[in-house]
Chain A
Amino acid sequence: MPHCKSADTCLSHYLESRTDINTAFDRFAEQQVKCGFAQLGVCCRLCSNGPCRITPDSPKGVCGATADGIVARNFLRMVTAGAGCYLHVCEATARRLKAIGEGISPVPIRSKQSLDQLAAMLGIEANTTEEKARLVADGVLADLYKPRHEKMELVQFLVPQERLDTWNRLGIFPGGAKAEVFDALVKTSTNLNTDPIDQLLHCLNLGISTGLYGLTMTNLMNDVIMGEPEIRIAATGFSVADPDYVNIAVSGHSHSVFAGLIAYLETAAGQDVGRAAGAKGVRIVGMTCVGQDMQLRAGASGTEIFSGQAGNNFTQEALLATGAVDMVISEFNCTLSGIEPIAEAKQIKLVCLDDVAKLTSSELLADIPGQERELAQKLTRMAADQYRQRRAPGSEKIRIDLPRHGHQDVVTGVSEKSLVQFLGGSLQPLVDLVAGGRIKGVAAVLGCSNLAEGGHDVMTVNLTRELIQRDILVLSAGCTTGGLANCGFCSPSAKDWAGPGLKGVCEALGIPPVLNFGPCLSIGRIEMVAKALAETMGVSLPQLPVVISAPQWLEEQALADGCFGLALGLTLHLAQAPPVTGSPLITKVLTEDLPNLTGGRLFIEADPVKTAELMEGIIRDKLQALGVAA
């Protein structure tokens, strides 16, 4: 069976050498025959008269639904699920902050400064840090739990007034975020809403709550609990795992769920548990986005005990196959069920802290605010026991086969705040670089990785290479940046792959041509950078000379993120069309009419060179429209 490739050649070779394991890279080939109806979005499974599929011989469903209606309904369901995922993470983070504020959780607040800034932005005043934390969390939870007819209140400061006006004009400014998710499901059920445009507008509405709450408020609250990102040098790749330590790999999206564990492992008592098992101590190895978040904030929390980010979503099976990991803790997606047989073969303990991330063979240990310390102690003991068992004399099964993989000099910790600080207090130097023609513009390459676009990270890497060669600075967040870091693009030496203008800037500032913002949640940070850039330049978001691309989007959350970008009025590229092309109407609205609605635009292009040309052209046109010479 042909093996799917990765842009990360070291990973590719490793996977090919490990014929003993079955991974997504093998299964991808087995799943090559795709259902065209699903790709087009024209299959409806909502009732017992179905499934109905739209063909020339059967142009309407039994109920009379057209291709437009079926596609819109299916798409809204996907966006709804994606929005629900990010809102779940936001809710969990707010509940933790509230428990800390109420003195229930023993977890420390790592950045009082972040809390003060956040409270000030929300207009919250309080006498003590604890009270401030509680009031911020209460405000967020109250907004999330509002009914649909009561609009969100807190987050209006996150977007320019012009956006709020646009959203109010279109009627897409959301009410209570969870209620919007709830009613989107109602709307898409059997024989309810059949208006494709109304459903598409609901997608944008969900995109707004995904972006402002799911992404940005989660980041801001996690900055309070876990500390702010600081620009620093860190390691990535499988080599971050040191088999002399008890290694706990983490997977998910909710950084502060690990607040108790990180705090405990920072103590001598926590490390002694590992030493008692015969190891040098206990380390956390980053896997999927929550590892990226730890990497981003490791200057402020877990500095000594976080080994680094091993890789993005589709590297996890290979990472576990190395045998270097003793336990996996998952609190959210993207934990693949494919790790289960590998974990069984390698005697790796699987634990989940939230039933939304329960794997068949993982043990559920519920994370309850207030019991963080006990949970951390239990998890550490379990990991140490696993380490001891796996290395017990006679345990022949556990062979550690850890390749030299990754980079030691990845620049991390870039955020909307640390970037401004790095540039000397404002984004004006970045604007000057573009206006002065030293770089041609800024593009964001973000979101997931998949195996579909020529292989794992292949489109991401090829597009990024094309962009930086054209002197376009790339900002990255999500699995894209995990892949780019492992391929060397987030290391200073990557300047040599950039065009002469960008290379000069990289050399002058000591930065790589790709700025690593960490997890997919940091798409919210990149959008805050976009807002700040727009303010600095005195333009609206749709006028801003930036383009975003999610070249290898994978899942429903990515679609909700994409809807946020389109609601913000940004131009968004995807390599693969979402399952909407069976509807001429939805396809037309997304790719042609949207500029007149939100100012955003979607374009689909699978070829990296053509995509880079199009992105360069869009940036150039926007600069020219602003009268900036390019």
Chain B
Amino acid sequence: MKRKIIDCEKCVGCKNCELACMVVHSPDENLHQAYREGGMAAVRARCKIELTSGGRLFPEHCRHCREAQCLQACMSGALSRNEQDFVVCDAETCVGCFMCVMSCPFGAARPATAGDRVMVKCDGCSDRTFPACVETCPTACLTLGEEAGQDDGVVYVNPPQPREACG
């Protein structure tokens, strides 16, 4: 199965992955509409470009971990692994306890900023043929491909050194 490959050295911080993520998770999936009438604030991007303490850009994406901490912590049963191997949240079932937010070591499980008190996370764009973030990345920092050696659904290439990890 093809996985999202993230080459940290190619990130230029344009944030188009964040924007694309917001658009596909907005009601009518349209860039211009997503910004209308405050709609922008209601949608939260599931990915985020962070800056390491060493000053390097780091695209923070959900890993869809093999041993997913969020999944283990979820008491309502809202989080599950779907047939495409992505860890996804059923917003109808989520009770907003945010144990997942507490458990995720990467900050990839986040509370929704508006609307119902639920968590939001990357759904791998399960209903699309191509993840929106990968589609709009202009530098090929985000690509899809086969990468051996790791079990997670997302593979990081050239990650920042441990001492630089996000503070």
Contacts of B14 in A (CB 8 A): 35, 37
User: How many Å from the CB of A41 to the closest CB on chain B?
Assistant: 10
A56-B22, A581-B36 in contact; A36/B45 too (CB < 8 A)?
no
Contact between chains at B32 and A581 (CB < 8 Å): yes
How distant is the Cα of A480 from the Cα of B24 in the complex, in angstroms?
34
If the complex has contacts A40-B31, A584-B36, A587-B36, are A55 and B15 also in contact, measured as CB distance less than 8 A?
yes
Contact string against A for B residues 34-47, beta-carbon threshold 8 Å, 1 for contact and 0 otherwise = 01111011011100
Chain B residue at smallest Cβ distance from A36: B19
Does any Cβ of B come within 8 Å of A9's Cβ? Answer: no
A56 and B43 contact, Cβ closer than 8 Å, known pairs A33-B136, A35-B14, A37-B19: yes
Contact A56 B44 (CB under 8 A): yes
What are the interface flags for A27-50 relative to B under an 8 Å C-beta threshold, 1 for contact and 0 otherwise?
Answer: 000000111110110100000000
Does the CB pair B35–A57 fall under 8 Å?
no
The answer, yes or no, to whether A311 is at the interface (CB within 8 Å) is no
* Option from A37, A56, A584 in Cβ contact (under 8 Å) with B16: A37
CB nearest to A579 among chain B residues: B32
Question: Of B15, B45, B135, which is within 8 A of A53 by CB?
Answer: B15
Q: Chain B nearest CB: distance from A308 CB in Å?
A: 41
Interface residue from B43, B44, B113, B136 paired with A36 (Cβ < 8 Å): B136
Is there a chain A Cβ closer than 8 Å to B100's Cβ?
A: no
| Given A37-B15, A55-B19: A584 and B38 interface contact (C-beta under 8 Å) | yes
Complex-state Cα separation, A54 to B19, whole angstroms: 10
Bound complex: CA A53 to CA B22 (Å)? 14
Knowing A36-B19, A40-B32 are in contact, say whether A59-B136 is a contact too (CB < 8 A).
no
- List of B residues within 8 angstroms of A33 by Cβ: 16, 135-138
- The answer to the question of A359 belonging to the interface, with a C-beta cut-off of 8 Å to chain B, is no
| Of A40, A56, A67, A577, most B-chain CB atoms within 10 Å | A56
Q: State in angstroms the CA–CA spacing of A54 and B138 once bound together.
A: 19
- B11 sits at the interface (CB 8 A): no
CB neighbours of B37 from chain A (8 A) = 584
A319-349 near B? 1/0 per residue, CB < 8 Å: 0000000000000000000000000000000
Q: Verify B15–A39 contact, CB threshold 8 A.
A: no
Q: What is the minimal beta-carbon distance from B108 to any residue of chain A, in angstroms?
A: 15
Q: Which of B19, B31, B35 lies at the interface centre, i.e. has the most chain A CB atoms within 10 A of its CB? A: B35
Q: Chain A's nearest CB lies how many Å from the CB of B76? A: 25
Q: Which residues of B contact A56 (CB under 8 A)?
A: 22, 40-41, 43-45, 113
The tally of residues in A whose CB lies under 8 Å from a CB in B reads: 21
| From A34, A54, A55, residue with most partner B Cβ within 10 Å | A55
> Does residue A582 face the partner (Cβ distance < 8 Å to B)?
yes
B114 to chain A: closest residue by CB:
A56
Q: How many angstroms from the CA of A583 to the CA of B38 in the assembled complex?
A: 10
Find out whether the CB atom of B138 lies under 8 angstroms from the CB atom of A55. Answer: no
| B79 smallest CB distance to A (angstroms) | 23
In contact, A55 and B36 (Cβ under 8 angstroms): no
> How far does the alpha carbon of A57 sit from the alpha carbon of B35 in the complex, in Å?
13
Bound CA–CA A583/B39 (angstroms):
11
When chains A and B are docked, how far (Å) is the Cα of A232 from the Cα of B36? 49
Name the residue on A nearest B30 (C-beta): A581
> In the assembly, what is the distance between CA of A59 and CA of B114, in Å?
15
Q: CB distance B35 to A35 under 8 Å? A: no
Q: Which residues of B contact A581 (CB under 8 A)?
A: 31-32, 35-36
CB nearest neighbor in A for B136: A33
List the A side residues contacting B16 at CB < 8 Å: 33, 35-37
CB of B160 to closest CB in A, whole Å: 21
Closest CB-CB distance, A606 to chain B, in whole Å?
11
- Residues B7-28 near A (CB distance < 8 A): 14-16, 18-20, 22-23
Q: Which residues of A contact B64 (CB under 8 A)?
A: none
Which residues in A have their C-beta under 8 angstroms from that of B48?
Answer: 57
| Residue-wise interface mask of A (550-591) relative to B, using a CB-CB cutoff of 8 A (1 in contact, 0 not) | 000000000000000000000000000100011110010000
Is there an interface contact between A36 and B40, defined as CB atoms closer than 8 Å? no
List B contacts of A34 (CB < 8 A).
136
Query: B49 → chain A, closest Cβ, in Å?
Result: 10
Question: Could you tell me the distance between the alpha carbons of A42 and B45 in the complex, rounded to whole angstroms?
Answer: 17
A-facing mask of B105-123, CB < 8 A → 1, else 0? 0000000010000000000
Instruction: Tell me the complex Cα distance, A35–B35, Å.
Output: 15
CB distance from A34 to the nearest CB of B (A): 8
Shortest A105–chain B CB gap in Å is: 50
**B36 and A39 within 8 A (CB):** no
> In the complex, what distance in Å separates the CA atom of A39 from the CA atom of B45?
18
Which one of B18, B22, B35, B138 contacts A584 once the chains associate, using CB atoms below 8 Å?
B35
For chain B, residues 82 to 137, give those with C-beta under 8 angstroms from any C-beta of chain A: 113, 135-137
Chain B residues whose C-beta falls within 8 Å of the C-beta of A583 in the assembled complex = 35
B138 — which chain A residues lie within 8 A by C-beta? 33, 35
A587-B43 Cα distance, complex, nearest whole Å: 20
With the chains together, A204 CA to B44 CA distance in Å?
36
Assembled-state Cα–Cα distance A137/B136 (Å): 52
Q: How far is the CB of A228 from chain B (nearest CB, A)?
A: 44
Q: A39: which B residues are within 8 A, CB to CB? A: 31-32
A55–B31 CB distance below 8 A: no
Known: A33-B136, A36-B136. A55 touches B32 (CB 8 A): no
Question: For the complex, what is the distance from the CA of A36 to the CA of B15, rounded to whole Å?
Answer: 9
The distance in angstroms between the C-alpha atoms of A42 and B14, with both chains bound, is 13
Closest Cβ–Cβ distance, residue A264 to chain B (whole Å): 49
Contact between chains at B35 and A40 (CB < 8 Å)? yes
CB-based nearest A residue for B31: A36
Nearest CB of chain B from residue A225's CB, rounded to whole Å: 44
**Residues B35 and A42 in contact, CB atoms below 8 Å apart:** yes
List of 6 A-B pairs having minimum Cβ-Cβ separation, nearest first = A581-B32, A36-B19, A33-B138, A582-B35, A56-B41, A36-B31
Task: Give 26 pairs: A residue, B residue, CB < 8 Å, sorted on A.
Answer: A33-B16, A33-B135, A34-B136, A35-B14, A35-B138, A36-B16, A36-B20, A36-B136, A37-B14, A39-B31, A39-B32, A40-B31, A40-B35, A42-B35, A53-B15, A54-B40, A55-B19, A56-B22, A56-B41, A56-B44, A57-B45, A59-B41, A577-B32, A583-B35, A584-B38, A587-B36
Q: Which residues of B approach A to under 8 Å, CB–CB?
A: 14-16, 18-20, 22-23, 31-32, 35-38, 40-41, 43-45, 48, 113, 135-138
- Given A40-B35, A55-B15, A55-B40, 17 additional A-B pairs, CB 8 A: A35-B14, A36-B16, A36-B20, A36-B31, A36-B136, A37-B14, A37-B15, A39-B31, A53-B15, A55-B19, A56-B40, A59-B41, A577-B32, A581-B32, A584-B35, A584-B36, A587-B36
